Chain A
Amino acid sequence: GEDVEQSLFLSVREGDSSVINCTYTDSSSTYLYWYKQEPGAGLQLLTYIFSNMDMKQDQRLTVLLNKKDKHLSLRIADTQTGDSAIYFCAESRGRGYQKVTFGTGTKLQVIP
């Protein structure tokens, strides 16, 4: 079955770059997502990448996909205290298949 793994915790200093990593097992994954969850809130979609891409940049966010190794990463440049949250990696097969499998989440702590 599908499985998505992430490290549980990451601590960085304000202004540094953060890199959150994720591995997945389903080779049928078509869409790979990064979501952000702040305390007491639902999930906010940050960005997503199609499996036929290897990189996507969106302002301070850069997503890298290594499809061969089934490895996804999210880089946050110039990390701010407001970036402190739990970040979830997720995958789905996309069209016609709305079941999304989420990773365990990585808690990002930004130290001022």
Chain B
Amino acid sequence: KAGVTQTPRYLIKTRGQQVTLSCSPISGHRSVSWYQQTPGQGLQFLFEYFSETQRNKGNFPGRFSGRQFSNSRSEMNVSTLELGDSALYLCASTAAPTSTDTQYFGPGTRLTVL
């Protein structure tokens, strides 16, 4: 079974631009969560989607948004990029929120904002 895939793996943007990251969960998994990892703040929860609905949201500004499609693939968008948005963005999937399965992480997208 293929793991969680994230595209692109690396991205360089400039301040003020916007960016869209993509995550394909493990086949059959319907819950997708997003995390931001930075050296200063560590791993922080962004949001979680299940059945195309956002179920939980972390403490991030409205510039960070996401969505989930009917095939469970998810995208996250960051608008008006700031230097501090440079981070590794990790996506994780589970079968369902009520499942006892734990989250399986993708390799991440490394975003650099210049």
- A interface residue numbers (CB < 8 A to B): 31, 33, 35, 41-45, 48, 88, 90, 94-105
List 12 other contacts, CB 8 Å, given A98-B94, A100-B33: A35-B105, A41-B107, A43-B90, A45-B103, A48-B102, A88-B43, A94-B100, A95-B99, A98-B31, A98-B50, A98-B97, A99-B58
Indicate if the CB atoms of B103 and A98 lie closer than 8 Å: yes
Convert B1-38 into 0s and 1s, putting 1 for each residue whose CB lies closer than 8 angstroms to a CB of A.
00010100000000000000000000000010101000
CB-based contact B45/A101 at 8 Å: yes
Task: Give chain B's interface residue range (CB within 8 Å of chain A).
Answer: 20 to 34
**Chain B 30-54, CB within 8 Å of chain A: the 1/0 string?**
0101010000001111001010000
**CB within 8 Å for A102 and B42 given contacts A42-B107, A45-B102, A48-B102:** yes
